[in-house]
Structure formats: structure tokens, C-alpha cells
């Protein structure tokens, strides 16, 4: 069964600190992996997309990594800001199927 598991379920950090969110998947055959950011009361917005051959992809303070062998991805946030408070959703695509993780709820406190 194609699954996407994210951890932790929620995370609280202080402003300025770094954090890493995890995504493990069993989706096969793998096509690509996206990280979305969802602010409260808004729809998800794409942060990064990685295909099988890509190990890392950056978008400002966000850096995503992908290990296709172990089927793991991480999203690293550097020097967190209050505006980073949101849910982060990992989405893994097979060739004609998309699977969503339940998300990690990140709260950045001053």
C-alpha cells in the first residue's frame, strides 16, 4: 500500500533556531516528492519538488533532501522566523497517483 508518514506530528521551536522535518514513504514506482507549506486557514503552497535523481533542493531558508534508496526525505528550516509557523506536508507521486502525508505542525515562538 502506498503510504507517506511524517514526523514529528507537531514541533515547537524558538525563533532563530533550525529544525528538520521527516517524511518516509512506501510509494512505488516513485516519480517525485514535493513539500508544501500550509498556513492556517489557507491552502497548501509548494516549496520544493525533487525527482529520483535529485538529492537536495533549496528554496531560501528551506532545504529538502531525498534518499530514494531508503525512501526518506527531510525538510530543513534554517534560522526560523515567526512566519514559518505552519503545517508542512510531504506529497509523494507515483506515475499516476499522489499520496499526502498528514503533515507536521510547526510553531515558531518568539
Partner 1 sequence: ETGVTQTPRHLVMGMTNKKSLKCEQHLGHNAMYWYKQSAKKPLELMFVYSLEERVENNSVPSRFSPECPNSSHLFLHLHTLQPEDSALYLCASSQRPGTGGSYGYTFGSGTRLTVV
Among 44, 50, 57, 80, the residue binding partner 1 under the rule CB under 8 A is: 44
- 53, 60, 69, 96: residue in contact with partner 1 (rule CB under 8 A): 96
> Which residues 6+ apart lie within 8 Å of 49 measured at CB?
32, 33, 34, 57
Comparing CB distances to partner 1, the nearer of 11 and 78 is 11
Per rule CB under 8 A, is residue 45 in the interface with partner 1? Answer: yes
Give the cell for residue 12.
Answer: 515547537
Query: Which residue, 9 or 53, has its beta carbon nearer to partner 1?
Result: 9
Considering only 19, 34, 86, 88, the residue that binds partner 1 (CB under 8 A) is: 34
Q: Which residue in 18, 26, 79, 97 binds partner 1 (CB under 8 A)?
A: 97
Q: Is 49 a residue that touches partner 1 (CB under 8 A)?
A: yes
Residues in contact with 38: Cβ distance below 8 Å, sequence separation at least 6, in sequence order: 44, 45, 86, 87, 88, 89, 103
Give 74's DSSP letter.
Answer: E
- Between the alpha carbon of residue 85 and those of residues 34, 79, 95, 98, the distances in Å are 19, 13, 32, 25
In the complex, the residues that contact partner 1 under the rule CB under 8 A are 4, 9, 31-32, 34, 41-46, 49, 89, 91, 93-103
Amino acid at each position: 500500500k502506498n503510504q507517506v508518514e511524517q514526523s514529528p506530528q507537531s514541533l515547537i521551536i524558538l525563533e532563530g533556531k533550525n529544525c528538520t522535518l521527516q517524511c518516509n514513504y512506501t510509494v512505488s514506482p516513485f516519480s517525485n516528492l514535493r513539500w508544501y507549506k500550509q498556513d492556517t486557514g489557507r491552502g497548501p503552497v509548494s516549496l520544493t519538488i525533487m525527482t529520483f535523481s535529485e538529492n537536495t533542493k533549496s528554496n531560501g531558508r528551506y532545504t529538502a533532501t531525498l534518499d530514494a534508496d531508503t525512501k526518506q526525505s527531510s525538510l530543513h528550516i534554517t534560522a526560523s522566523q515567526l512566519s514559518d509557523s505552519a503545517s508542512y506536508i510531504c506529497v509523494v507521486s507515483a506515475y499516476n497517483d499522489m499520496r499526502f502525508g498528514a503533515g507536521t505542525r510547526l510553531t515558531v515562538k518568539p
